[in-house]
Chain A
Amino acid sequence: MNGWMGRLVTIDLGRGTRETVEVGEATRRRFIGGRGLGVKLYSDLFPDPVDPFSEDNALIFMTGPLTGTLMTSGRTQVVSRSPLTGTICDSSSGGTFGAALKAAGLDGLIIRGRSRKPVYLSVHDGEVKVRDASALWGLDTQRTQKAIQAELGAKASVACIGPAGENQVLFAAIMNDKDRAAGRGGMGAIMGAKNLKAIAAWGAQPVSIADPAGYKDLTARLDRIVDKNPVTGKSLQVLGTSVLVNIINAHGMYPTENFRRGVFNDAEGTSGEKIAETILVRQSACFKCPIGCGRTTRTREKSGEGPEYETVWAFGAHLGISDLTAITEANYACNELGLDTITMGSTLGCAMELSETGAWAEPFRWGESGKLLGWVTETAYRRGIGAELALGSKRLAAKYGRPELAMQVKGMEIPAYDPRGAQGMALSYATSNRGGCHMRAYMIAPEILGHPVFLDRFSTAGKAELVALFQDISAVVDSAVLCRFLQFATGISTFAEMLRTVTGLDFGDDELMTIGRRIYTLERLYNNRAGFGRADDTLPPRFFEEDFQTGSTRHRLVRLEEMLDDYYQVRGWDRNGGPLAKTLADLGL
């Protein structure tokens, strides 16, 4: 078999059993791997959704046929039902862990049950061993990785949780290869519920390539394409993702103080340009990545990875904070404790507005950078007010009687693009299968950045078709598995060629788009079964009712109703957002 390793293992931590899972060729072709195959396996296991923290629930680590091969292929997808949202969720992480899992002989790992005591898993030569993690429980993610590498050797790539995962914070991340995160949706909390501290993988099993000569040629061509592209070959390398700070701010849609304004006056001081001038030590890159968007940084006290764009925003403009050192050190703390920076920062912004309105008596104040580290730490350990912050913004705002102050969709916090400034992005947030996420359909690319074409950001015309198209392409990339940033330089035909070269299967462009649509629809079916429908495909009322008075997004509101029915129609779903029988038949679902 080319591309896939042909071995997928289910391990039950409660019963101590292991089973090999057979995935037929037809299923691989229909869902590829990564997110797509993970979602397929998960939804087959659970026709009736289960409590994410239940013993029965499964946590699936998946690679794809491209993992460990061509550029940007070190990524892993983690699939389960999110404890934060209750939706299906896949969380993607960079680094090398995905490639290491395949080198260890596995395409993926399905983890079920709950261990009675803390354990970690080692994967090597296709075998999975359960190891005692009693001495690791309580350690942060950095110490955990070092301790496991001390035991197994430095070649082991480790994915682990920190105290936040152990304490089942609803937005706990899984951290691998030091500071790479499967951040969104609380996958780390599920590991914590299973008493699973980490997974370590290493090995030297090669991925079989269908067309070795073509592979060599394609490798060289991809290098040239990525190098020549101004985004992947220059901007992301020199300035990282935070180059977006000034761009989004100049468009008047940089969410400030819990999305109450669209222009942050101190944006310059936290921009990618400023990071490059001040705290940047060097760029860092994932497995076989020539882009290297990562930032290795140093403050006076500490060093580490980040901040990237979303984190700069979450701990910066969103909270009215312009102290780059405080933002960076909050980022380091999240990496160490194992927390999603977006939900952490957004929940703090919600807390600040709750406090300001008097709904919550706790003294959270805008711009209070000195307390950031304390809040983050208390959250990871669920101590004091941290026990409430650990619930995320939706539950927090509801508890204090102001649910509208949580800037979330389906329970997941919206990131750093105000939807009033880009109607397609608004539809993307509203219809995202995992909640308020920018990565299901990154409409900022055409609506703001002009990739691959420039679209009028305030128009709703044609946005339904494009959002669906972007969602489908993204599902393909997440299933192959590749980094989304390749999309700045390439497109669906390149992904088809990469898959053909590695697997020998001739996925045409049309077939890939159908696969993307199948995956998105399957996720939707699961969410329907979990109780989600049209009423959940929406945004907080602020975006429909409150307009900015300044900046270039002033006097604009989201016009979701102009797009939602069209979107359902494009998708072949009914008016409540449920796939029609004909759609399911067409997709073979």
Chain B
Amino acid sequence: MAGLIGVKFYGLLRRRLGTASLEIAGDGLTILALLGLAEEKTGRTFLEELLDRERGLLTGTIILLNGENIRSRKGLETPVAAGDNIDLFSPAGGG
């Protein structure tokens, strides 16, 4: 829906939350604020999988805003608009 922000969870986050996606009403939020709302909505904490104690992105955390890594924009302060899609990946690797 255009008025909602879509959030998708992958990997360990999905297993922890037991859900693959949710939608959050909002506009003009930062990524950090959106993550806080997502925690509230799922009823489970998960930010420690993505952020360090100073609330910075952990090495390896990937957050995509409409397919673009937020590290290429303003990081956790990147604004999110209604209709945007967010993909959340906790640190992962392979080869």
Contacts and interface: CB of A to CB of B under 8 A. Distances in A.
A and B bind? yes
Interface of A: 230-232, 234-236, 238-244, 246-247, 250-252, 272-273, 276, 293, 308-309, 438-439, 442, 444-445, 448-454, 456, 484-485, 488, 551-552
Contacts of B67: 250-252, 551-552
B93 A231 contact: yes
5 contacts: A235-B93, A243-B94, A244-B94, A450-B60, A552-B64
Contact of A236 (B15, B58, B64, B94): B94
Interface in B25-67: 49, 58-62, 64, 66-67
Nearest to B89: A247
Contacts of A246: 10-11, 89
A273 B93 contact: no
A235 B59 contact: no
Interface in B49-95: 49, 58-62, 64, 66-69, 71-72, 87, 89-95
Contacts of B62: 247, 448-450
B12 interface: yes
B92 A243 contact: yes
A442 B93 CA distance: 11
A551 B49 CA distance: 26
Contact of B60 (A230, A250, A251, A293): A230
Interface residues of B, number: 26
Contacts of A243: 10-11, 92-94
A438 B87 CA distance: 25
A463 B49 CA distance: 29
Given A231-B60, A247-B62, A450-B59, A485 B11 contact: no
Given A246-B11, A273-B14, A454-B71, A488 B93 contact: yes
Contact of A231 (B14, B15, B87, B91): B91
A247 B10 contact: yes
A241 B10 contact: no
A293 B42 CA distance: 29
Contact of A451 (B12, B14, B60): B60
A241 B93 CA distance: 7
Interface string B3-23: 000000011101100000000
A231 B95 CA distance: 12
Contacts of A450: 59-62, 69, 71, 91
Contacts of B71: 450, 454
Nearest to A448: B62
A241 B95 contact: yes
Contacts of A232: 93
Contacts of A438: 95
Q: By CB atoms of chain A within 10 A, which of B15, B64, B89 has the most?
A: B89
B89 to A, nearest CB: 6
A240 B93 CA distance: 9
A235 B95 contact: no
A230 B58 contact: yes
B69 A454 contact: yes
Nearest to B71: A454
A485 B10 CA distance: 21
B21 to A, nearest CB: 11
Contacts of B87: 250
B12 A234 contact: yes
A408 B18 CA distance: 40
Given A252-B67, A273-B11, A244 B72 contact: no
Q: By CB atoms of chain A within 10 A, which of B15, B60, B90, B92 has the most?
A: B92
A484 B95 contact: yes
Given A235-B92, A239-B12, 6 more contacts: A230-B49, A241-B95, A244-B92, A309-B94, A450-B62, A552-B64
Contacts of A231: 60, 91-93
B60 A449 contact: yes
A240 B95 CA distance: 10
Contact of B59 (A242, A251, A452, A552): A452
A293 B94 contact: yes
A116 B43 CA distance: 70
A442 B87 CA distance: 23
A445 B15 contact: no
